Structure formats: structure tokens, C-alpha cells
Amino acid sequence: MDSPLRPEPRSPTAFLLAGLIVTLVAVVADGWYITRQMEGLRALQTDLADRDRRDSLQLLRIQNALNTVALAMRDMLDDQQYPLTAWTAQFDRVRRDLDDALAREAELAVASRTPEQREYLSTSVAQFWDAVDRMFTDAREGREDEARAAIRVSLQARQAALSTTVARLLVANNESQDQTARQMQEIYTNVQRQAFVFVGATLAVILLTSVYVIRSNRRLFGDLAVLSERRHELARKLIETREATLREVSRELHDEFGQVLTAMGAMLSRAGKHVPDGSPLRAELREVTEVAQTALDRVRGLSQSLHPSILEDAGLDDTLDWFVPNAGRQLGIRVTYERPEPTGIADPAAAIHVYRVLQEALTNVAKHSGAAEAWVRLRASDGRLRLDVEDHGCGLEGTTDSRGLGIVTMRERAELMGGTIAFLRPPDGGTLVRLEVPTHP
């Protein structure tokens, strides 16, 4: 049978051209997008500058509150005719203002400030007010001297440290604003220039690369088509050579060894007739005759297994009717066979391919699936034959030969007939080998 040519692999030239157009559009869109993003970045810079300015205003407010506290503490130490508790209302008012300023400043703190720096200011202020509360507690309980000592030793030092911290934050804020403004301006300029250079270079590279890829692709797929056809032809010749070899070996076994064993059996039978009844030699001759007959049966079975001569004499339908039950007994599995109508395949070359695929599939069931039963179904309709060999074993993934020579040969045979073969997993698990081929070449 002349094997149909496999379709030439579809060249992706059209897809590459479409991809080139899409890439060019994407690059142009990317340039437009970068420009829009830089405009948004400039707007973001303005927002950040405004945020930094408001953060600095809150820091100035905190600094003013701390200065007010410093003046109050100085008056508390200088003017001793009034009790320290008389300053409670002023400290509460400053405390509320300072807490509000700290809360607003925390919301506006610049991103460059570390969490430790943010936590340090709020923690230091909280510790300062705790010390103030202890000072007023001592004053209310009549320990004026201890309270004043706390002001001199602890509170004034804490206030000075807080003022220094706030002043440093103000300086850092101003420096950060100036540095950020300079860096952002440099970034804008560099990014814009590099973006345009990149877009231009990318367009040139994409254009050159795409032209090269398209030309190389056309040449490569042409070579692949030739190689694929050569490989297909080689596979066809190898399979034909293998079948010819098996046919010759089968014929030699059937004709030569079969005839020799048949002649031996006949000679032993004749010799047995010349031996007196009851002689031990007669029993031994009968035993040797049985051994020769067993060997003859095995040789005939092996000959049919290598190349079923019934396939050439009776056709595929009768061959399968004979083969499937015998294969089940030989392989040690139960085989349920369904063939409601003739296969419709009369070509000997196609028939041997279908037979070999079925033979390999049943052998795989027995050797690898671990299943004790298999189902063979044949359906012929609309000029196509479908062969299903199903088992409920471990499946192809559970075998070590799932990519062996047998499956590769099954695929090649299907392609030689212009059909397809699939290895599926049925709902109940296992493996379903499905061969679909045209009934006429």
C-alpha cells in the first residue's frame, strides 16, 4: 500500500509577521505610556513636595510647643511664690496641642524616615509627659522640692533633647526636599532620553531580528518537511522489512521444522506398529511421538504468531476472530471481543498493520497493566475503522515502557495507514488504545 504523505508542518511565518506588527505597536504604545507616566511622576513630585512642606510645618508646631514648655518650666523654677500645681492648666493645653501636632506629623512623615526614627519621637514625647505627670503628682502631695528638682534634673534635659531631635528632623526634611527635587529632575531627564533611545533601538533590533527569523524559519521548516518525509519513508521500509523477515522466518518454521517434526511423528508411529504389544519400547515410542507432536504444535503456534498465514488466506476478519480468543489464552487474560460488522479492510498491507497494533496492545495489557481482563471493540462506519483495546489496569504512567519501541511502532503503523492512534484513560482507569484508519487506501 502506498503510504499517504503526512501533512507538511504549518509554517509560523504568518504568526511571526503578525507578532512583529503587534510588537511594533506595543513598542510605540510603550513610548506613549512612558511619557504619560513621567507626567504623572512630575505630578507626584509636586504632591510629595507639598507633603514635605506640611510635615515641616507640623515639626515647627511641635518645636513651638516644646519651646512653650521650656519657658513654662523656667518660670516655674524662677517664681517660687506660686505652687507648681498652678501650671497644670497651661501644661494640659500645651500637651493637647503637642499630641495633635504629633498625630498629624505621623500621617505626613516622609518616606525616607525609618520606623525607628518615627517611633523615637513619639516615645520620647510620651516619656516626657510621664515625667511631667510624676512631677505634678509630687507637687500635689506637698513635695515641692522634689518636683522642682525633677524639673531641673529630668524635664529640662528631656525637653532640650526633644527640641534637638525636632530641629534635626526639620533640617533633614529640608535637605531631603532639596535632594529629592534634584534627583527627580535628573531622573526625569535621563529616563525620557533613555526611553526614546531604547524605543528606537528596540524597533531596529526587532525589525532586523524578525526579518532574520522569518527567513530562517522558512528555510528551517522546509528542511524539517524533507527530514520528516525521509523519516516517514525510513519507518515504512523498516516495518516492511521486519514483516518480510517475520514472514520468512514463519515460513521456514512451518515448512522446514514443521515438516521434519511431522515426518518424525509418522516414522515413530510406523516404528511403534512393529513393536510387540506390551513391550516397554512401545510405550517409550508413544511418549516420544507425543513429545514430537507437542513440539510441532508449538512450532506452528510460533509460526502463526510471527506471521499469521491465515491473514493472507482468510482476510482480516477471520484472522481477528481466530487471534483474539487464542491471544487471551496464551497471554493469560480474559478478552471480551466485539465485532458487530465486517472491518471493511481488504488490503493485505493495511490488514497486517491493524493486526500488529492489536497484538502489541494485548501484549502490553498482559505485561504491563496488571489487569486480568481486556476489551477489544471494532467499529466500521463511513469508510473508517476504529479499533479500541481497553483495560482497567495501572495505565501507561504506571509502566516503564510507556514510551518504548512498541508504542512508537504502533504510531508509525497508524501513520502509514493514514490514520491516527491515541492512548487515552477511560473513566474507570487503565488505558484505552484507540486506532482509527480508513478502510480503503
User: 308-438 belongs to which CATH class?
Assistant: alpha beta
Task: Give the domain ranges of the chain.
Answer: 13-213, 308-438
Q: Digits of tens for pLDDT over the chain (441 positions)? A: 344 444 455 556 676 677 678 777 777 777 777 777 677 767 766 766 677 777 777 778 888 888 888 888 887 787 777 788 888 888 888 888 888 887 777 776 655 566 676 677 778 888 888 888 888 888 888 888 888 888 888 888 888 888 888 788 777 777 767 776 776 777 777 767 767 777 777 778 777 777 877 877 778 778 777 876 776 676 667 766 766 676 666 666 655 665 676 777 777 677 766 767 666 776 677 777 777 777 766 766 666 566 666 666 778 888 888 888 888 888 888 898 888 778 877 777 788 888 888 888 888 888 888 888 999 998 888 888 899 999 988 877 644 444 567 788 888 888 888 889 998 888 888 899 999 989 876
**Locus of grid cell 498465514:** 309
- Provide φ and ψ at 4, rounded to 5°: -70, 145
The pairing of beta strand 420-424 with beta strand 431-438: antiparallel
DSSP character string of 246-259 = HHHHHHHIIIIIHH
Alpha-carbon gap, residue 364 to 289, rounded angstroms: 36
Which CA distances in Å does 257 have to 204, 271, 293, 361, 384?
76, 21, 12, 29, 40
Alpha-carbon gap, residue 49 to 56, rounded angstroms: 11
First-to-final CA distance of the chain: 7
CATH of domain 13-213: 1.20.120.1730
Residue 193 near residue 127, CB atoms below 8 Å:
no
Alpha-carbon gap, residue 328 to 389, rounded angstroms: 13
Bridge partner list, 315 = none
Burial (Cβ within 10 Å: 0-12, 13-18, ≥19) of residue 81: exposed
Bridge partner list, 388 = 377, 434
pTM above threshold 0.85: no
